């Protein structure tokens, strides 16, 4: 586990999430001859073109054959290379589930999966290209670290951290038109440690990916309009999840909302709820995400609005949870 | 290097011992994949005892040749080969398939010394072989990767993705085999889902194909030598074998894909292997040079 890794990237302000991945990959390629990059006919879409230009002998476009790509990556990692494999999240999880499970995670090899166009971010492409169940699948595989960065800057940091930490990684990012949350990369980022973006005592919003920006907007608005004090956590690492931050949120605020661009079955919300249940402590809890159905076609921001995982949807969710009554208990420590 | 008569005889002795040890392992385990284990043993034996560049004192030597047994259910034959090399305590074979053993049907590369790749789910090995070969190229190394597929396994489409990429990148450091024993769990490959024209399929995917008797060391050696001498094109060795090679009453019968060796047939199997060894020695004496 990396401890408070800090990376600096230049010219990053306006780059999209996947462009930041491309930039990080080139940076790694320059400094580490073991870094190789693979894609399955999505070099342009996954922003690997610069790496391809600079390191053609370490770049492999295997055609539209994702299972083969994951097997090849495992074979390369066994020989000591550090492969970054990039394709759309739906294919980087479901299409290759068995290769990811057996070749990469069971063998515990150093393959970094970069899953782009995650959630409903490739909205117009429809449900074959929405990845709304991928986190549920991949977070159940042993040895795999699962990261969902909030924006381009955090993606850069996650990619760098993935290189520094041996073992399989699944980094899930959007199509690349995310709102920029962090001003730059000058902040501490540690795998498995949530980032508290603002503190509060009334409720905690735990979000990942593009929903973090929306959560922060909602929290700021609710403080101005309703005087609510809301804590916001950027839970960029879904596995291993930051148990300490979740337990502290339950203890301090006793009201939790999770927000994700993913099914409410098996994703961030489920991961957080597993920790909450394990504490044995009561709290009001609501999961925002894609309900247990396929998402509509459309622009990502419209879909987020329809699914109520944008700022307005989160505000609505907060109001609902604030209205929930549950047994107050002054003596918190006596609970099991 | 062509196989000398002396080498041939010595390989026959080795594979005889390994067939015996495999039989014992099936017996200790209670049951096992005896059919596909026996059919693939000549390939494993010649790879490890004539060709593979390995260091017995260091099974993880970075520049070693790699072996991928993509038909991972042959673990019951592969484990004896690795134990015989001095890797892993021989006593472990007596625990094969037992609760908490390091060795189960499909060998785990993180638990069994000398297993380069964990396999078991079919259709994965050839892609990993491609990756291993490409890694050697990126690293400027010369190691080879031997990959053995089962024939039933070739129903899995992912093999053909891998085949395309091995030909496309001309990864001729990968030397591929199919253990063409013609059988799978539910019957004959050609009855379940036709593979023929099998050799033509591999040719069409860009391989130089050697269609040989996979239970004959001379033919195996000629095919592997050809692959060493011709890096201009990847080689696929279609090794036509008999299921359960060496145990006459089981040979060629798909019902012995997985079977039990109990007290009743244990001695019968050992006798069959003794007879088989005599025949194989006679063949080597006659055809060897």
**What's the CATH code of the domain at A77?**
3.40.50.970
Model confidence pLDDT, tens digit, residues A209-233: 999 999 999 999 999 999 999 999 9
**Whether A203 and A126 share a structural domain:** no
Please report, rounded to a whole number, the percentage of residues in chain A having pLDDT higher than 90. Answer: 83
Sheet harboring A195-198: ordered strands across? A195-198, A230-234, A203-207, A255-263, A284-290
Residue of B nearest to A108 (CA): B110
**Which residues 259-318 of A are in CB contact (within 8 Å) with B?**
none
DSSP A204: E
**Residue A10 above 80 pLDDT?**
no
**Whether A163 and A249 share a structural domain:** no
User: How far is B132 from chain A, CA to nearest CA, in Å?
Assistant: 4
Domain that holds residue A204: 195-324
User: How far is B36 from chain A, CA to nearest CA, in Å?
Assistant: 22
Phi, psi (5° rounding) for residue A86?
-125, 130
Model confidence pLDDT, tens digit, residues B207-233: 999 999 999 999 999 999 999 999 999
Question: What pLDDT is attached to residue A334?
Answer: 57
**Whether A240 and A166 share a structural domain:** no
Q: Does A36 touch chain B (CB under 8 A)?
A: yes
**Whether A290 and A222 share a structural domain:** yes
Question: What pLDDT is attached to residue A9?
Answer: 39
Number of domains in chain A: 2
Asked, for residue A186, whether it belongs to a domain, the answer is no
Question: What pLDDT is attached to residue A332?
Answer: 60
Residue of A nearest to B134 (CA): A76
Asked, for residue A333, whether it belongs to a domain, the answer is no
A224 torsion bin: left (phi>0), alpha (psi -120 to 50), beta (else): alpha
Cβ–Cβ < 8 Å for A146, A117: no
Q: Is B118 within 8 Å of A78 when comparing Cβ atoms?
A: no
Q: Is A78 within 8 Å of B133 when comparing Cβ atoms?
A: no
Residue of A nearest to B109 (CA): A107
Question: Regarding the domain with residue range B5-287, which homologous superfamily does it belong to in the CATH classification?
Answer: Thiamin diphosphate (ThDP)-binding fold, Pyr/PP domains (3.40.50.970)
**Which positions in chain A touch B124 (Cβ < 8 Å)?**
71, 98-99, 102-103
Average confidence score pLDDT of chain B: 97
Q: Is A229 exposed, middle or buried (0-12, 13-18, 19+ CB in 10 A)?
A: middle
The CATH number linked to A293 is: 3.40.50.920
Between CA A6 and CA A187 the distance in angstroms is 6
User: How far is B60 from chain A, CA to nearest CA, in Å?
Assistant: 10
Question: What pLDDT is attached to residue A333?
Answer: 61
Between CA A308 and CA A127 the distance in angstroms is 18
Which pLDDT band, with edges at 50, 70 and 90, does A3 fall under? very low
Q: Is A53 exposed, middle or buried (0-12, 13-18, 19+ CB in 10 A)?
A: exposed
**Whether A220 and A105 share a structural domain:** no
Question: What pLDDT is attached to residue B136?
Answer: 98
Q: 């044995």: which residue's tokens?
A: A280
**Which positions in chain B touch A65 (Cβ < 8 Å)?**
161, 164-165
- Which helix (H) or strand (E) segment holds residue A277: the answer is helix A268-279
CB atoms < 10 A from the CB of A308, how many?
16
**Whether A34 and A88 share a structural domain:** yes
**Residue A335 above 90 pLDDT?**
no
Question: What pLDDT is attached to residue A5?
Answer: 32
Domain boundaries, chain B: 5-287
**Which positions in chain B touch A36 (Cβ < 8 Å)?**
138
What would the mean pLDDT of A42-51 be, rounded to a whole number? 87
* Domain final position from A123, A157, A172: A172
Asked, for residue A288, whether it belongs to a domain, the answer is yes
**Whether A152 and A221 share a structural domain:** no
Chain B contact probe: residue of A58, A79, A109, A141 with most B CBs at under 10 A? A79
**Which positions in chain A touch B117 (Cβ < 8 Å)?**
74-75, 78, 107
Asked, for residue A179, whether it belongs to a domain, the answer is no
Question: What pLDDT is attached to residue A231?
Answer: 98
Model confidence pLDDT, tens digit, residues B29-52: 999 999 999 999 999 999 999 999
Model confidence pLDDT, tens digit, residues A158-203: 999 999 999 999 999 988 777 899 988 899 999 999 999 999 999 9
pLDDT below 70 — which residues of chain B? Answer: none
Q: Is A78 within 8 Å of B132 when comparing Cβ atoms?
A: yes
Q: Is the peptide bond before A240 cis (omega within 30 degrees of 0)?
A: yes
**Which residues 58-77 of A are in CB contact (within 8 Å) with B?**
58, 60, 62-63, 65, 67-77
What would the mean pLDDT of A278-288 be, rounded to a whole number? 92
Half-sphere exposure of A131 (CA within 13 A, CB side): 27
Between CA B233 and CA B210 the distance in angstroms is 12
Please name every residue paired with A284 in a beta bridge, in sequence order, or none if there are none: A255
Record the pTM: 0.94
């Amino acid at each position: 586990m990396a401890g408070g890794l800090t990376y600096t990237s230049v010219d990053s302000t306006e780059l999209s999430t996947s462009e930041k991945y491309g930039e990080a990959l080139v940076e790694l390629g320059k400094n580490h001859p073991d870094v190789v990059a693979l894609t399955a006919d999505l070099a342009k879409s996954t922003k690997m073109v610069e790496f391809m230009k600079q390191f053609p002998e370490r770049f492999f476009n295997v055609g539209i054959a994702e299972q083969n790509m994951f097997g090849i990556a495992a074979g390369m990692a066994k020989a000591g290379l550090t492969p970054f494999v990039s394709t759309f999240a739906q294919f980087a999880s479901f299409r290759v589930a068995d290769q990811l499970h057996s070749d990469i995670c069971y063998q515990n090899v150093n393959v970094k999966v970069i899953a782009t166009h995650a959630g409903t971010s490739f909205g117009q492409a429809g449900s074959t290209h929405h990845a709304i169940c991928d986190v549920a699948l991949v977070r159940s595989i042993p040895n795999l670290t699962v990261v969902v960065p909030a924006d381009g800057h955090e993606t850069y940091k996650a990619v760098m951290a993935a290189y520094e930490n041996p073992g399989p990684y699944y980094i899930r990012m959007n199509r690349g038109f995310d709102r920029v949350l962090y001003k730059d990369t000058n902040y501490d980022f540690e795998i498995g440690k949530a980032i508290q973006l603002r503190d509060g005592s009334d409720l905690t919003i735990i979000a990942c990916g593009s929903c973090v920006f929306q959560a922060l907007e909602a929290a700021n608005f609710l403080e101005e309009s309703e005087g609510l004090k809301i804590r916001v956590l950027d839970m960029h690492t879904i596995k291993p999840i930051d148990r300490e931050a979740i337990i502290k949120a339950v203890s301090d605020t006793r009201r939790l909302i999770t927000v994700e661009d993913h099914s409410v079955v098996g994703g961030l919300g489920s991961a957080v709820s597993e920790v909450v249940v394990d504490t044995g402590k009561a709290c009001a809890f609501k999961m925002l995400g894609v309900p247990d159905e396929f998402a509509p076609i459309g622009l990502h921001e419209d879909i987020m609005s329809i699914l109520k995982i944008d700022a307005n949807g989160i505000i609505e969710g907060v109001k609902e949870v604030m209205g929930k009554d549950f047994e107050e208990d002054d003596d918190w420590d006596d609970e099991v | 290097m062509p196989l000398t008569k002396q080498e041939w005889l010595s390989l026959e002795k080795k594979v005889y011992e390994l067939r015996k040890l495999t039989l014992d392992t099936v017996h200790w385990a209670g049951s096992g994949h005896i059919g596909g284990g026996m059919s693939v043993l000549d390939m494993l034996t010649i790879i490890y005892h004539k060709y593979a560049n390995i260091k017995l004192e260091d099974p993880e030597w970075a520049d070693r040749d790699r072996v991928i047994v993509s038909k991972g259910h042959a673990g019951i034959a592969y484990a004896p080969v690795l134990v015989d090399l001095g890797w892993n305590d021989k006593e472990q074979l007596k625990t094969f398939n037992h609760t908490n053993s390091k060795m189960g049907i499909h060998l785990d590369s993180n638990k069994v010394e000398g297993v380069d790749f964990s396999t078991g789910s079919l259709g994965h090995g050839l892609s990993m072989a491609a990756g291993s070969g490409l890694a050697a190229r990126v690293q400027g190394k010369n190691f080879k990767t031997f990959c053995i597929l089962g024939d039933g396994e070739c129903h899995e489409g992912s093999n053909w993705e891998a085949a395309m990429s091995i030909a496309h990148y001309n990864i001729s450091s990968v030397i591929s085999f199919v253990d063409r024993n013609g059988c799978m769990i539910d019957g004959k490959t050609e009855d379940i889902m036709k593979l023929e024209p099998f050799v033509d399929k591999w040719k069409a995917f860009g391989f130089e194909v050697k269609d040989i008797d996979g239970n004959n060391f001379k033919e195996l050696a000629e095919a592997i030598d050809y692959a060493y001498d011709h890096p201009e094109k990847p080689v696929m060795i279609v090794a036509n074998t008999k299921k359960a090679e060496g145990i006459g009453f089981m040979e060629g019968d798909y019902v012995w894909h997985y079977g039990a060796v109990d007290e009743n047939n244990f001695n019968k199997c050992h006798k069959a292997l003794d007879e088989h060894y005599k025949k194989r020695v006679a063949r080597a004496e006659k055809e060897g040079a």
